[in-house]
Structures are given as C-alpha cells and as structure tokens.
Amino acid sequence: MHITSQPAAPGPQADAAHSSTDALGVSAAQARSAALEEMILVDPGRFRVLTGDRPTGRLHLGHYFGTLHNRVRLQNSGVETFVLIADYQVLTDRDAADGLTGYVEELVLDYLAVGVDPERSTIFTHSAVPALNQLLLPFLSLVSVAELSRNPTVKDEIAHSQQSSVSGLMFTYPAHQAADILFCKANLVPVGRDQLPHLEVARTVARRFNDRYGRGDAVFPQPDALLSPAPLLLGTDGTKMSKSRGNAIALAADADETARLIKGAKTDSERRITYDPAGRPEVSSLVLLAALCQNRTPQRMADDIGAGGAAALKRTVTEAVNEYLAPIRARRVEYARDRAHLRRTLHEGNERARAVADATLAEVRAAMNSRC
Ligand code: ATP
Ligand code: MG
C-alpha cells in the first residue's frame, strides 16, 4: 500500500446521473477531507470509522481507490474501524439476493487481501446485528418523505434498478445508512462521491436526534465523509464503475482479464492524452487510475503518454494496474484456501458489532424515554 499522499484531484465528472449533483457540495467535501486528514495525523484516537459495501459482487478498482485504500490507511494509523457488509441493502434494487452467501465471503476475502486486519477492524453483516436495524424506526421519524425522495443517489439508483417498481426499502436506504453509521457512533466515513447525499441524511438524523432527545448532550456525532483522490472512478463504459453495471474491473480479476477489459474501455477521438476530468472524463479516469497505481500525479502521467494516444494509455494503465494488484491478488488466493477462517472472521466481527449496537439501542431508548 504505497499510495499515501496523492494531491486531491477533482473526480471525473462524466457519470450522467452524478453530473446533476451539486459540484459545490463535492468541492466542499474535498476541502473538508483535506482538513480531516490533518486532524487524523494529529490525533487518530478521536476518530471512529464506519464504512461498507453491498454484497452484490466482487470489489473493484473503484472501491479500492474510492474507499478501501483509505480504510486500510486509517486502520493502520490507529483509527478504530468498522467495516459493514450491507446485506439487507442488496434488496434495495432487486427482488432476490441471489448468491448472497458467496458474495459475502468474496467481500471478506477482498478485505483481507487489501489489508483490513480483523484484529483491528470489525467486519460484520447487517443481518447479524438486529439492534442496528431497529434504529431505523426512530431514525425514520426524523426525516421527511420529501427529503428522502429528492436524494440524488436514490434517484440514480432507481434509474439503474433491476426492479420494475421502486420499493420502500429503496427510499429508506439513506435512513438505514444513518443507522449503519450511527450505531457505532462513527464520525468518519471513507466513501466515494456517490455517498455524499446519504451522508447528509446521516448528519441530519444525528443533529435532529440530539436536538429532540439529547437534553443538551450529543448522543450521536455528526459524521463526516472522507473522500479520496478518486471519489468517482469510471467503469469501462464511461459511467461510475459499479459491481452491478457490468463495467467493473474486479480486484480479483486475473492479468489477462484486466488487459481485455481495459482494452475495451471507452475513450475519445482526440489523440493527445491530457488530464482534463471535466472535458475528457473517460480518458482522465484512466490517467488517474494509472497515476494512483504508480504514485504519480495524473498531470505527469498524461504528459508522459502525450501523443501516444488511447492505445499507449491503455497499455500503461494495464501494466500499472496489474503490477499494483499482483501482491493483493496473491494474498487473496492464499486467504481463499481457508474458508473456515473467513467464516470465523465474520462470526467474531458480528459478535463485536452486536455488543456495540445493543449498547447504542439501550441509550436511544433511554433518551427517548421509550420501551418500544
Ligand atoms: P452496486 O452496483 O451493487 O451498488 P457499487 O459498485 O456501487 O455496487 P457499493 O457497495 O454500492 O458498490 O459501494 C461501496 C463503497 O464504494 C461506497 O463507499 C461507494 O461510494 C464506493 N464506490 C463504489 N464505486 C465507486 C467508484 N466507481 N468510485 C469511487 N468509489 C466508489
Ligand atoms: Mg452502489
């Protein structure tokens, strides 16, 4: 893990659904992330991280450079870390959670391979922690239907949904995510840019809960998003790289598959390679990917490829990605040999998360003076 201090590059702007999100909101979150990085350096002990992924497929390069790398870095610098496998949220955009057990194990494998250490980080699933899910009920009373329905990430996910109609679970997704974050009183959430609107809902829920029930005390912190230098990595089709969109390069893909996928990635017709996220999103996302793998600035990377065109860019990206991922892929193969260890890791993480959630739910009930 040798990427530590890439300059904060603006994320590529291409994803149609995301181009409507508030650009100022993204730059404010980037500025806030830079300030948070300073605070983490000084006092990692004041932070607690919660972040997670839906078990809808194997993790990809967007996850890695959007959030996984940050999780491992924070864990290693002494920040207490919770990693959630959001299994109930699989059902937000599909009727059945097919292959769930297998995907959950694949996620644990990906975590271990990139350096999440179960001794220092708690890896757990939603469905194993009932008290976390119970927080959803009081939290839903703190947000309006209008607030939930204008959430741009919910709108985007509805647009890409596999369902013919929109379920209530899709609308309540941001409030559920507030429960994910607040059950362990996390104040730092390393996420991709698509999650910023959900973070706003979590902050609103925390603030309103404190105002309504806190009697002057802050029961919940207001969590901050921590963005990486790649807050929106694009997939091979030029939209947000996503597990469910068939446009992703999985961390576990082999070198040949990686080469084939990058070869088919969308670029543009301009020969000279430049780094211009707003004007040339697809090319710039590829440049950024190679730069992150080689710990260089995207501008330098683009200058070096220069007149080589898309073919040279794709060759460079393929070599950089395959070289960077080789040790991660080798570790993944090793961990995959011991499935019992994966299940034990999850079992222990679930137990730890349950204890934390039970304590928070008891506190919430006491604050609300409620027995329900
Ligand atoms: P799905 O298509 O099933 O929704 P996904 O690829 O969007 O899967 P999630 O599990 O929804 O992945 O997201 C997990 C985390 O990874 C979130 O913090 C999200 O912001 C981040 N992330 C996902 N895709 C990207 C990406 N392309 N660039 C940067 N961060 C990303
Ligand atoms: Mg997603």
What are the tens digits of pLDDT across the range 169-217? Answer: 999 999 999 999 999 999 999 999 999 999 999 999 999 999 999 988 8
In this structure, what DSSP letter does residue 142 have?
Answer: T
What CA–CA distance (Å, rounded) separates 59 from 71?
A: 14
Beta-bridge partners for 81: 49, 121
pLDDT at 287 over 70: yes
pTM of the model: 0.92
pLDDT at 371: 61
Average pLDDT of span 323-351: 98
What are the tens digits of pLDDT across the range 34-52? Answer: 999 999 999 999 999 999 9
Rounded to the nearest angstrom, the distance between the alpha carbon of 32 and the centre of ligand 1 is 21
Rounded to the nearest angstrom, the distance between the alpha carbon of 109 and the centre of ligand 2 is 19
What are the tens digits of pLDDT across the range 304-335? Answer: 999 999 999 999 999 999 999 999 999 999 99
pLDDT at 233 over 70: yes
Q: What is the mean pLDDT of the chain?
A: 92
Rounded to the nearest angstrom, the distance between the alpha carbon of 181 and the centre of ligand 1 is 16
Average pLDDT of span 72-78: 98
Contacts of 70 (CB under 8 A, 6+ apart): 190, 226, 228
pLDDT at 157: 85
Q: Do the Cβ atoms of 205 and 178 come closer than 8 Å?
A: yes
Ligand closest to CA 54:
1
Rounded to the nearest angstrom, the distance between the alpha carbon of 191 and the centre of ligand 2 is 11
What CA–CA distance (Å, rounded) separates 340 from 117?
A: 16
Among 2, 204, 135, 246, residue whose Cα is nearest residue 196: 204
Rounded to the nearest angstrom, the distance between the alpha carbon of 318 and the centre of ligand 1 is 21
pLDDT at 50: 98
pLDDT at 13: 37
Q: Which residue has its alpha carbon closest to ligand 1 atom 18?
A: 191
Report the Cα 354 to chain-centroid distance in Å. 22
Q: Do the Cβ atoms of 315 and 265 come closer than 8 Å?
A: no
What are the tens digits of pLDDT across the range 112-169? Answer: 999 999 999 999 999 999 999 999 999 999 999 999 989 998 888 888 888 888 899 9
pLDDT at 24 over 80: no
Rounded to the nearest angstrom, the distance between the alpha carbon of 98 and the centre of ligand 2 is 17
Rounded to the nearest angstrom, the distance between the alpha carbon of 242 and the centre of ligand 2 is 6
pLDDT at 9: 36
Counting from 1 in the atom list of ligand 1, the atom nearest the Cα of 90 is 3
Q: Which residue has its alpha carbon closest to ligand 1 atom 6?
A: 242
pLDDT at 6 over 70: no
What are the tens digits of pLDDT across the range 234-268? Answer: 999 999 999 988 999 999 999 999 999 999 999 99
Report the Cα 200 to chain-centroid distance in Å. 15
pLDDT band, residue 90 (cuts 50/70/90) = very high
Q: Which of 194, 234, 285 should be mutated for ligand 1, with most atoms under 8 A from CB?
A: 194
DSSP string for 91-104: GGSSS--TTHHHHH
Sole residue written with tokens 């193969």:
333
Structure tokens, 364: 């919430």
Q: Which of 13, 30, 54 should be mutated for ligand 1, with most atoms under 8 A from CB?
A: 54
Residue ranges covered by each domain of the chain: 42-230+338-368, 243-336
Among 372, 345, 331, 273, residue whose Cα is nearest residue 120: 345
> CB under 6 Å to ligand 1: residues?
53-54, 56, 62-63, 66-67, 191-192, 194-195, 230-233, 240-245
The dihedral region occupied by 85, where left means phi > 0, alpha psi between -120 and 50, and beta the remainder, is: beta
Ligand closest to CA 243:
1
pLDDT at 372 over 60: no
The superfamily (CATH) of domain 42-230+338-368 is: HUPs (3.40.50.620)
Rounded to the nearest angstrom, the distance between the alpha carbon of 55 and the centre of ligand 2 is 10
Average pLDDT of span 77-104: 94
Q: Which of 63, 85, 198 should be mutated for ligand 1, with most atoms under 8 A from CB?
A: 63
Strands (E), the chain: 48-53, 80-85, 121-125, 188-190, 224-226
Ligand closest to CA 193:
1
CATH code of the domain occupying 243-336: 1.10.240.10
pLDDT at 1 over 60: no
Ligand closest to CA 242:
1
Q: Which residue has its alpha carbon closest to ligand 1 atom 20?
A: 192
Counting from 1 in the atom list of ligand 1, the atom nearest the Cα of 56 is 3
Counting from 1 in the atom list of ligand 1, the atom nearest the Cα of 244 is 2
